[in-house]
Copies of this chain bind each other. A is one copy, B any other.
Amino acid sequence: MDTKTKLISSAERLFDRHGFTATGMDKLTQAAGMSSRTLYKHAGSKTALITDVLAERHRRFQHSIEVDSVAALFDALEAWVRVEGCRGCLFLRAQGETGGDTPEIADAVRTHKAALYAKIQEIVSLETGGLHPEKAEQVLVLYEGATATAVYRGVDAIVAARAAASALIQQARA
């Protein structure tokens, strides 16, 4: 594994477990197994490192939601949290920690959420024959809710969200 990949993946882990602000550069260099000079050569700054981490996570997340039904969307989320754990949406957490004051981070969040919503719109349109576009936002809310609620209620929240989403879609088809 090359230097930058190792840096980003170990940084993602630390940011996710302990928060962005609370994670210092010493912890990051130590976890990545490199000197601070090397870290700065590859990342440039802490903000840039956070941006890189979010971009990589977005890439991986996008791949994980390549599905074509609402039920499968929540199955994918369940599989995700089983592998990655459930500490809430890392993008919204980054937004919250910075108060939206860091433009690069705010942009990464916007991009990620726009893509998520677009994907959900695509799936819902597929399942309802494009007849109920308002259901997309409801499914989005269920998806975000599943992610947030799983923090303290675990996978049960995702199971409940999938059931609710399926019921709403079923209802739209009738």
Measured between C-beta atoms, what is the minimum distance from A166 to chain B in Å?
Answer: 11
Q: Any chain B CB within 8 A of the CB of A96?
A: yes
Closest B residue to A139 by beta carbon equals B164
> Within the assembled complex, what's the spacing in Å between the Cα atoms of A140 and B109?
24
Q: Any chain B CB within 8 A of the CB of A118?
A: no
Tell me if B96 and A19 are in contact (CB < 8 A): yes
Residues in A lying within 8 Å of B, measured CB to CB: 17-19, 21-22, 87-89, 92-93, 95-99, 101, 109-110, 113, 117, 134, 137-138, 140-149, 151-153, 156-157, 160-161, 163-164, 167-168, 171
Tell me if A22 and B160 are in contact (CB < 8 A): no
Contact of A98 among B19, B151, B153 (CB under 8 A): B19
- 19 pairs, CB–CB < 8 Å, chain A vs chain B: A18-B101, A22-B98, A92-B151, A93-B93, A96-B151, A97-B97, A109-B152, A134-B163, A140-B149, A140-B153, A140-B160, A141-B142, A141-B149, A141-B164, A144-B145, A144-B148, A145-B146, A145-B149, A167-B171
> Within the assembled complex, what's the spacing in Å between the Cα atoms of A19 and B93?
10
Q: A19-B96, A142-B142 are in contact. List 8 more A-B contacts (CB 8 A).
A: A93-B97, A96-B97, A109-B152, A138-B163, A140-B145, A141-B160, A141-B164, A144-B145
